[in-house]
Structure 1
Amino acid sequence: MIQYQLRQVLPERKVDPSAALALLCSSAAAIVVWKWLVKRQIQKKMEKARRTQNEGLKKMAKAVQQFREQVPSVQTDAILSLPLLELAGRLQEGSLSPKTVLYTYLEKALEVTQQTNCLQHFIPECEEQLQEIQQQREKGLLYGIPISIKDHIGHKGHLSTCGLVQRLGTVVQEDSVLVKVLKRQGAIPFAMTNVPQSLFNYDCSNPVFGQTLNPFNHQKSPGGSSGGEGALIAGGGSILGIGSDIGGSIRLPSSFCGLCGLKPTAERLSLSGASGPVSGILAVPCALGPMARDVDSLALCMKALLCQEMFQLDPTVPPIPFNEEVYSSSAPLRVGYYDTDGYFPLPPCMRRAVRETRDALQAAGHQPVSPIPNRRYLGFLKKGIQLLWHDPLLLSCLSTGDIVDPNLKSQVNCCKIPRLGKKLLALILKPLSLAHTLKKLRRSRHGHGLHVISSLLPKVYRTEFIAQWRKLQLDVVLCPVLGPAFTIGYPGKLLTAISSTMLYNVLNFPAGVVPVSTVTEADEEELKLYQGCCDDPWDQMLKQAVAGAVGLPVAVQCVALPWQEELCLRFMKEVETLSREKRAA
């Protein structure tokens, strides 16, 4: 009836097939042209960013050359070899000038980034900060110390890209709280370091600024997402850096590059002014923290940051100053330990490092205690990793005008598989022991599941974990960290390998990494026998990722209860001292 009435009102028109075809073709052509224009616009943005980067490097190289001509007698190697505490002391007493130290590190940073591509850009305003600190009445704890900062930690007048093209046009209007406090303490931020695209990877590559290399082996990754910091500090181009950690992003580069790195309790240092690619990861809090060549450097940095200035600038930060008494204590520690989390078995050298460190601690008068595994442990790790790599969060930051980096493609492609497709693949691949990974990916599409994880699971498990900790009367925990350095391209294929670090992000415990050894020929031979959980393709891939690592750093992870960063650092210092004594023997 309705169709009849419409025909009476509207005249019938005969559709011309050729006109319809022409319309269809023109629409398709318009879409192709539009996509080409968008891609071309992205390419122009990337080219402009690279030109700006290259121009900045050339300007800084010219400034360094002018300084060298004015002061040709600078003992570069002597300055670069000074530990942070000694360098800070020399600057405080005036036997070294801040300008000499700054330009010495600028020159070295230029050399390191030419080899590893670790910098996004220098901070030209470092010269202004140099002049400003020399006019201050009181010298801060970091007076004259050049410091590098990760890309997404805001510095006024500079980009904060997170490795994303869509952020190239946005300039930060105000220093982050952390940068303000560093400047107040006399530090000189001089460089912004490279990161992986979206920060959701523990390699260090993005389409704009390219791949960062490990300074010890250019076939290996420096880790991520604070990989630029790791490469720069390990290469000698910075003495102190600030990174961030949401799944191991300070600890993994520290492990891969042989550095010390601390992930504090998330709220211990201000996050104000540090941007992220997405918001909404409620149960996995981000933490900012220091990276350096030794533990004393981390302690000095934390002592400088935990000051009244930070507490006033960001009232959400608990006003807890650094407890020097705890850090300086020499009382014996009761140390819980484990060499595998039972979820993703690590290479033999990393487990060896835990056992050797445990033995050294026991010989030094500490009391190692083997914790009893919690029944809910494996399930918690699986759900925690599911939460961290939640599909919509990863895809949302790449959905608006971004070319996906090759190192992120396998990760993004997994996220794009429809829910039904994941179910079918899980069924087909079940005999190959791959179903658990696909099951994880399939479940991550459920918004309700995300809410349950974010609001209930971490709190429940944190309570259980602390209860077990108290029952065993532990002071600290010694455990493995992922390593040694992966071959470039593998981190994006082995996301679940971060279980050893991710656990303490979800629990929100302070955790640090200390290098204690290097990969030996015996480790490499033992790796050939490694079978992991069930010798499946993931285990085989891990063997490929870490193969050829003889001589590269091997580290352990040190953990304390929330808000006990000083105790965590004190434990790290003990581990560092014992490992150095062993190497010197």
Structure 2
Amino acid sequence: MLQDVLIMMPEWMKQPWSYIKMDLRVIFALACSSSAAFLALKWMGRERIKRQIKEARSKRDHGLGQMEKAVQRFKLENPGTQSACILSLPLAELAEKLKEESLSPETVLYTYMEKALIVTQETNCVRDFIPECEHQLQEIKKQKAKGLLHGIPISIKDHIGYKGHLSTCGLAHFLGVLQEEDSVLVKVLKRQGAIPFVLTNVPQSLFNYDCSNSIFGQTMNPLDHKRGPGGSSGGEGALIAGGGSILGFGSDIGGSIRIPSSFCGICGLKPTAGRLSNSGVKGPIDGILSVAGTVGPMARDVDSLAFCMKALLCEDMFQMDPTVPPMPFNEEVYAGSAPLQIGYYDTDGYFLLPPCMRRAVHKTAMLLQEAGHRLIPFTPPSVDYAMDELFLKGIFADGGSFLLTMFEKDIVDPRLKPQVTWLRIQKTVKRVLAKIVKPWFPRLASHLNALCGVRSVKNLWEHHEKVMAYHQKFIDEWRKCQLDVLLCPVLGPAFLLGYPAKILPAVSCTMLYNVLNFPAGTVPVTTVTEADEEELRCYRGLCGDPWDKKLQEAVEGAVGLPVAVQCVALPWQEELCLRFMKEVEKLSQEVRQK
């Protein structure tokens, strides 16, 4: 009977070990082939990305070549153009000369094109030429009424949509996707007679205040090529500071207009989100509601910012984007001269900025007081809470997973690797690391916990509620002090290349006003002195932790570079903010001219 059973048994049961060995060999072979296939696919993916990058660079170089040929053609046909005189004119004066036709739009456009080529050869700030500008040049001649920006050449940031051009956000993922129509901002600028002629470079993903990406490379600061121009509107900052653009447009969700303006020694305004249209402005992550991002102007002086806002806040803007409140520019507020109640502080209690920055705030406060304004010390409430629990958790509500998928489809720029490394750490590991480092590095612990994001939709709703509650708390403090405006630091001076990704939380001074959605602008007021540099050697920061040490290293050797301050107003009061910025600019210039 046993023999019958053995006969009926399957073959694998008679010799199980031989079959197990065979299965293990099959499993091993499958594992090896799967691994090989995965590596092959990954290699093919990287090669595809490299080809896309090579093609994008080639197109950019071709565009710059077109730009150079256009300039040379114009110069041959129009010898003796007084370029230096044109480049030195303030925006309002240039606009007036174009309106009265004592200068031609062709002369101005090709003069700025030539200068932009020189600046980008030195700094790598232009991402692409917009050849359609020559067609736009002809179009404005047909306009019956001359807009406020008639014939003014302007530059725009990489991701501000322009029909037929890329909006890369510094990511290879978006190469090959051309914009189907102009953004509302570009449409209104064209209606006002402006001529967009170049797109400018940005950091990979925009979520950094350096200006480098794996496609178009690193943009340098025109004032010191060992330093960055700030970000993410760094290409704009470099081009305007170098004289290659008279008016540019950036965007700001954590300081991306104000930091480049500070690093490059120009003026920039972050309006209240919604005051200008964001329609057609592409981001790597759209739909973030906890923290408000916005587009805004950048220029050499405050009057240019005000002139630009006056041009943009027009019926065309309100009709093309009905979500923009129909609030024309209030010239009366901007031209006001009544004394202001000005709150001020030199540190937000989260990141102590370099000595030159604190000196700039106190020096500006003293000048304002001497001019008849009332200065009131102000302490912004709970900035550490606003930084970690509101800003970071709002930006990285998903724990950074969506942004990480973008990086996985790309070649990570070396400048951003420290930042991407933190995103790649699993949430559980981040929480464990946070507990380990908390006793000696509490800011990093809070940072790691914040990067874990929110755990559910319910938590996201609670987060939105916390943001609204903080808005009210801040406004209550503002009203308690009866403030009109606020004077405070902005990050600076310009960092040495590679440092922004190592100390992302240093943007607390600017990101606060994105959380609050207050209008805020940057005005250069002084430069770094030898005394500032000497005092920097004793700098220990607020916590004496590695971030404070990195900040000290980032700004070393900056003697002679610009130092700015930040001017803030309540929501929808851009005109008052600009009026305050103008007062700061005027007083600072008077001191420098003595």
- Which of the two has higher C-alpha Rg? 2
1:422 and 2:460 equivalent? no
Preserved CA contact (<8 Å) 2:431 2:448? no
Query: For residue 488 of structure 2, what is the amino acid of its counterpart?
Result: C
Query: For residue 420 of structure 1, what is the amino acid of its counterpart?
Result: T
Preserved CA contact (<8 Å) 2:380 2:474? no
Q: 1:520 aligns with which of 519, 529, 544?
A: 529
Partner of 2:42: 35
Preserved CA contact (<8 Å) 1:195 1:224? yes
Q: 2:225 aligns with which of 218, 222, 234?
A: 218
Q: 1:387 aligns with which of 383, 393, 417?
A: 393
1:397 and 2:397 equivalent? no
Structure 1 residues 101, 25: CA separation in 2 closer, same or farther (over 3 Å shift)?
Answer: same
Cα distance in 2 for partners of 1:252, 1:372 equals 22
1:263 and 2:270 equivalent? yes
Q: 1:276 aligns with which of 283, 293, 298?
A: 283
- 1:267-294 deviations in whole A, cap 9, x for unaligned? 1000000011013421111111000000
1:545 and 2:551 equivalent? no
- 1:528-572 deviations in whole A, cap 9, x for unaligned? 111111222111110000101111110000000100000000000
Preserved CA contact (<8 Å) 1:423 1:439? no
Q: How does 1:72-471 map to 2 (within 5 A)?
A: 72-374=79-381, 376-390=382-396, 392=398, 394-400=400-406, 401-432=409-440, 434-448=441-455, 451-452=460-461, 454-471=463-480
Equivalent residue of 2:479, what SS? Answer: helix
Equivalent residue of 2:243, what SS? Answer: coil
Structure 1 residues 439, 364: CA separation in 2 closer, same or farther (over 3 Å shift)?
Answer: closer
Cα distance in 1 for partners of 2:366, 2:256 equals 28
Query: For residue 524 of structure 2, what is the amino acid of its counterpart?
Result: P
Cα distance in 2 for partners of 1:364, 1:158 equals 48
1:56 and 2:63 equivalent? yes
Deviation at 1:373, TM superposition (A): 4.8
- 1:278-317 deviations in whole A, cap 9, x for unaligned? 1342111111100000000000110000000010000000
Partner of 1:570: 579
Query: For residue 497 of structure 2, what is the amino acid of its counterpart?
Result: I
Partner of 1:69: 76
TM-score by length of structure 2 reads 0.94
Cα distance in 1 for partners of 2:169, 2:522 equals 24
Cα distance in 2 for partners of 1:9, 1:483 equals 78
Unaligned runs of at least 5 residues, structure 1? 1-6
Q: 2:30 aligns with which of 5, 23, 33?
A: 23
Deviation at 1:24, TM superposition (A): 2.8
Partner of 1:532: 541
- 1:218-252 deviations in whole A, cap 9, x for unaligned? 01010000000000000000000010000000000
Cα distance in 2 for partners of 1:309, 1:321 equals 11
How much identity, in percent, do the aligned residues show? 62
Deviation at 1:336, TM superposition (A): 0.7
Preserved CA contact (<8 Å) 1:519 1:550? yes
Structure 1 residues 364, 467: CA separation in 2 closer, same or farther (over 3 Å shift)?
Answer: same
Query: For residue 575 of structure 1, what is the amino acid of its counterpart?
Result: V
Paired residues, what number? Answer: 577
1:507 and 2:516 equivalent? yes
Preserved CA contact (<8 Å) 1:394 1:412? no
Cα distance in 2 for partners of 1:445, 1:518 equals 39
Cα distance in 2 for partners of 1:77, 1:302 equals 26
Query: For residue 328 of structure 2, what is the amino acid of its counterpart?
Result: P
Greater CA drift, 402-411 or 229-238: 402-411
Cα distance in 1 for partners of 2:245, 2:203 equals 20
Structure 1 residues 442, 500: CA separation in 2 closer, same or farther (over 3 Å shift)?
Answer: same
Deviation at 1:487, TM superposition (A): 0.6
Deviation at 1:18, TM superposition (A): 4.3
Deviation at 1:443, TM superposition (A): 4.1
Preserved CA contact (<8 Å) 2:291 2:391? no
Preserved CA contact (<8 Å) 1:385 1:499? no
TM-score by length of structure 1 reads 0.96
Query: For residue 317 of structure 1, what is the amino acid of its counterpart?
Result: V
Structure 1 residues 77, 19: CA separation in 2 closer, same or farther (over 3 Å shift)?
Answer: same
Cα distance in 2 for partners of 1:86, 1:56 equals 30
